[in-house]
Structure 1
Amino acid sequence: MTEVVWTDKTGAPEAQFGDFVDLLKPRVMRLVLFTALVGLVCAPVPVHPVIAFAALVCIGVGAGAAGALNMWWDRDIDAVMARTKGRPIPSGRVEHDAALALGVTLSGFSVVMLGLVANVFAAAFLAFTIFFYVVIYSMWLKRATPQNIVIGGAAGAFPPMVGWAVATGGIAPASVLMFLLIFLWTPPHFWALALFRNDDYTRAGVPMLPVAAGERSTRNHILAYALILAPAAIAPAFSSVGGPVYLAGAFVLNALFIRGAWAIWRRDEATAAADRCRVEKRFFGFSIVYLFLHFSLLLVEAGLRAAGLAAAGWPVLF
């Protein structure tokens, strides 16, 4: 039987439901939801499960809205990058006006609903996060400076603070430490990606660090950030959300992260080209696991505290 594909008047296939889901960047949304969940669970104020679920839905929708607006704005550069040319807009599956309408609608919906189910501060924080990612990072920094991901990475670091704000209506040193963990992790994570996707960014004219400063400088920056990240990543162990389990895990993870950054730093471009950036790709993959495990350890500590098994006398400095 011949499969029938519905088309619009121009002959292009009509957008399917899955195409609009792809606009929301579901993989990024999962990370946002997980880190927001950790911020919410680790907060000292309990939240009713129904309210917590509704709040996380709002945060996830807000993250998806920001993703759709990012794809709407970046449709020109997405079309020339191998990594992104298959996205819904450059591939012709979704009209850019539809992506804009979806992003704006979901942004408003997520912020208003979070204000209703949680509190105004959390809703305002979510609105600021969407604005920061779309306007500050996507529209301004991304094409203007090689420090784009350094500053713009704050957008991806806000979700645990939003989750914390859902529970408490404010911020605290522990939530700021969770922010710093993601904020300082973001540059080496994306610079590793940029090393083996350098041709993409060059073709698109995006001044990622390897394009603007060269690959040697990028390797230096990755190692420097790994060294700066380590103490910031270990610091939550001595906050109200940490403990000995987190400390042990964070110590191992950061030792491995620094070792990976050192391996990248030692390489020259001829070697990297010969093995198709195998080390850089491995570091990029590990960096995702690295972040997931840090926040998983915070969940473990929260579970131990809830069960009354937290270490007595553990120093809390933050």
Structure 2
Amino acid sequence: MTYVGPSASSAEMSIPPSVEDGSGRATVKDVITAYVGLTKPRVIELLLLTTVPVMFYAARGIPDLGLVLWTVLGGAMSAGAASAYNCVYDRDIDEQMRRTKRRALPRHVVTPVSALVFATTLAVLSTAALWYGTNGLSAGLSVGAIAFYVFIYTMLLKRRTTQNIVWGGIAGCFPTLIGWTAVTGSLSWEPVVLFMVVFFWTPPHTWALAMHYREDYANVDVPMLPVVATPRVVATRIVVYSWVMVVTSLLLWPVASTSWFYPVVAAVLGAVFLLEAHRLLARTKKYESLKDISPMRLFHNSNLYLSLLFVAVAIDPLIG
């Protein structure tokens, strides 16, 4: 399970000053902190937030605790492996970007070879944990998510096209499928709808943050949409994707025959998200400075939206 796109919610764990300025050797604690940072813990939190609620819905109530623990363990290691691979491959541009220059590899606290071994170990352990604790289908989906994130997004799309996080974002949708298959052992339309919600959520979420860090991406020639398009164009696309996302979220109601709770929450959350998206577009027409446009308002709203929507997914079967 992995997530595509930059995220302020995934801020890297800071490297201690003694290591950063060269005034002291890295302690065991420093190295452990660096390795944990490679996994991008905040991204893991976000991914598990879309995994566990789906397990509740698939179980139509409270799922087996042991199953949840194995899924969380395997999913966390899977996401950590993908993030660590990403850090190894992107270490050259990470050194030049203010958002990422404090990562372990740019600060030379961890060597690329050590990080690669660490990532591979996590990938193997995550697959074994999911295979043992859930089933082969969930384990296979996890491997597919790692491969998609590393080979399709990181190596193929990220540095070549403005569509990098649109199609690369598919990797971040896998947790909805993994959570469902961990409980049921098979796929159905319910997790596919939630898969598509995350798919359409990813571009507005990521483009808003990329607007804030536009200069970072421009300096390293990564063609994020805000680098090659005007803020108004970016905001317009954010509005379009936001509308499609909200409509898709409401499809779970007829597809899964939810109770009244989910569609009401989804409609309210969607209305708030759309309001913020349209406000962002309005600010791009009024202001020229990205500081005045304040794209981070939508970014933070997007995190809250996804979190509360999936909490509603978990609560709905308990009410129904």
Indicate the residue corresponding to 1:18 in structure 2. 33
Instruction: Report if the CA contact (8 A) 1:42-1:241 is conserved.
Output: no
**Letter of the 1:295 counterpart:** F
Larger radius of gyration: 1
Q: Of 183, 188, 194, which aligns to 1:167?
A: 183
Give me the identity figure in percent: 34
The equivalences for 1:1-318 within 5 A come to: 13=26, 15-44=30-59, 47-240=63-256, 242-268=258-284, 271-273=287-289, 275-278=291-294, 280-304=295-319, 310=320
TM-score in terms of structure 2 length: 0.88
**Letter of the 1:147 counterpart:** Q
Instruction: Report if the CA contact (8 A) 2:283-2:292 is conserved.
Output: no
Question: Could you tell me how far apart the structure 2 residues matched to 1:96 and 1:69 are?
Answer: 10
Deviates more, 1:204-213 or 1:126-135: 204-213
Structure 1 residues 260 and 270 mapped into 2: Cα distance closer, same or farther (>3 Å)?
A: closer
Instruction: Report if the CA contact (8 A) 1:62-1:111 is conserved.
Output: yes
Question: Could you tell me how far apart the structure 1 residues matched to 2:244 and 2:67 are?
Answer: 37
Q: CA shift at 1:213, angstroms?
A: 2.9
Instruction: Report if the CA contact (8 A) 2:19-2:109 is conserved.
Output: no
Q: For each residue in 1:69-122, what CA deviation from the matched residue of structure 2 results, as whole angstroms up to 9, or x when unmatched?
A: 111111111111111111111122211211111101110111122112211111
Secondary structure, aligned partner of 1:16: helix
CA RMSD of aligned residues (A): 2.3
Q: CA shift at 1:293, angstroms?
A: 0.5
Q: For each residue in 1:209-256, what CA deviation from the matched residue of structure 2 results, as whole angstroms up to 9, or x when unmatched?
A: 011233232111111111111110111122327321111111111111
- For structure 1, the residue ranges without an aligned partner over 5 or more in a row are 305-309, 311-318
Q: CA shift at 1:12, angstroms?
A: 5.5
Question: Could you tell me how far apart the structure 2 residues matched to 1:190 and 1:272 are?
Answer: 20
Indicate the residue corresponding to 2:4 in structure 1. none
Higher relative contact order (Cα pairs below 8 Å, separated by 6+ residues): 2
Deviates more, 1:241-250 or 1:29-38: 241-250
- For structure 2, the residue ranges without an aligned partner over 5 or more in a row are 1-17
**How many residues are treated as equivalent by the alignment?**
300
